[in-house]
Amino acid sequence: MERNLAIYDSDVVYATRLMEFFKRTKDFAFEVSVFTRKDCLEDYVKNKKIDLLLLDDNISQEEVKHENIKLIYLLSDKKSVKQDLSIPSIFKYQSAQTIMSEIISYYASEEREVGVGSFLNHTKLFTIFSPILSANKYAFAWSFASILAEKKKTLLINLELFPNMPVSLCDAADQGLSEFIYYLKQDNPNIIMKMKSLLRYTGKLAFMPGVTHGFDLLSLNKEEISKWMEELKSFKEYEIVIFYLGFYSEAAMEVLSKSSYICLPTTDNFYEDAVLREWERQTNLTGLEVKQEKFQRISIPREEGLGKKNFSIQELKGSSIWSCAEQYIGKYKLGD
């Protein structure tokens, strides 16, 4: 079904460039129109519905209220934006990618909330963890998340010390998790709104790129991770949140302890088995019993080609790793 997004801003150059960016972006599921005069907007909404209006916050909302305008999102020229969850706003003079990511997340959230009982389930927290990471395990995490995203609103969060984005989706330098961690550690309000502004999207899957420096992850303490995970569960924006975990600390232990399901992918070799056994021994000493039901060890196939170059989601779909993820999800009914 076609959805309409309109931009109403007196700055012709700004509005036009934002529209052009949206139109160039693949999988942006909106028809985009630009208005710089009130009378033109009024003529348009007499005959056509606007699903989302991006409105210059110097223009009164009362001027544009109309039954054919479903949602309004404010574009603010002030860096310090007051977040009102009923009428969200964003600083307009930043990257178009950031603006697009946040409005997609906002619209998807509102669309689900108006559905008839479609979003009453509690948020499930999954973790995919291995003491020894690899391109194949990263591919498994992406396959796992992408498959679940077809049925549930899913977010994948990359918690690697050395992220390198082998999935060719965005610039490797686009690593927003460090900015989010800084915001979280300052004890700022509305951490979920900040997180949403840093997300990227591929198809139906939302994902958080990794850190700029591994020290940022290591700086997180147990209380900060706990706060983040509790906010994710209480906000209920996503039905499934998947952490791809690649480090081990008290904060990482908190991720594991608060997760509903933990997948331990392995490529079955002697050294890796020995490391995993030692990790299990140390983890059991902390009081978190690895043998409990929520820990599921899974053997994944080796796709040698995935470690030699970046790969696309389309290439991933034809791999044995994708099939393995489908079987795992089906076996444990994780998408239900």
pLDDT, tens digit, 9 for 90 and up, residues 194-239: 888 788 887 788 889 889 999 999 999 999 999 999 888 877 778 8
pLDDT for position 106: 74
- Please compute Rg for the chain using Cα positions: 21
User: What is residue 1's three-state secondary structure?
Assistant: coil
The residue among 71 and 101 whose pLDDT is bigger is 71
User: What is residue 269's three-state secondary structure?
Assistant: coil
In the predicted model, is pLDDT for residue 78 greater than 90? no
Amino acid at 90: I
Direct distance between the N- and C-terminal alpha carbons of the chain, in angstroms, rounded to an integer: 25
Domains and CATH numbers, the chain: 4-113 (3.40.50.10850), 124-331 (3.40.50.300)
Q: How confident is the model at residue 166 (pLDDT cuts 50, 70, 90)?
A: low
pLDDT for position 82: 53
User: What is residue 180's three-state secondary structure?
Assistant: helix
Q: How confident is the model at residue 104 (pLDDT cuts 50, 70, 90)?
A: confident
pLDDT for position 16: 94
Give residue-wise pLDDT tens across range 109-159.
676 554 433 333 478 999 999 999 988 999 999 999 999 998 888 999 999
Other Cβ atoms closer than 10 A to 10: 13
- In terms of DSSP bridges, do strands 205-208 and 200-202 run parallel, antiparallel, or are they unpaired? antiparallel
DSSP 311: B
Residue with tokens 């003529």: 43
Give residue-wise pLDDT tens across range 13-67.
999 999 999 888 766 778 999 999 999 999 999 989 999 999 998 888 888 888 8
Of all residues in the chain, the percent with pLDDT exceeding 70 is 87
Residue with tokens 């909404």: 45
User: What is residue 309's three-state secondary structure?
Assistant: coil
> Mean pLDDT in the chain?
85
Q: What is the mean pLDDT of residues 167-196?
A: 77
pTM exceeds 0.75, yes or no: no
Q: What is the mean pLDDT of residues 313-329?
A: 90
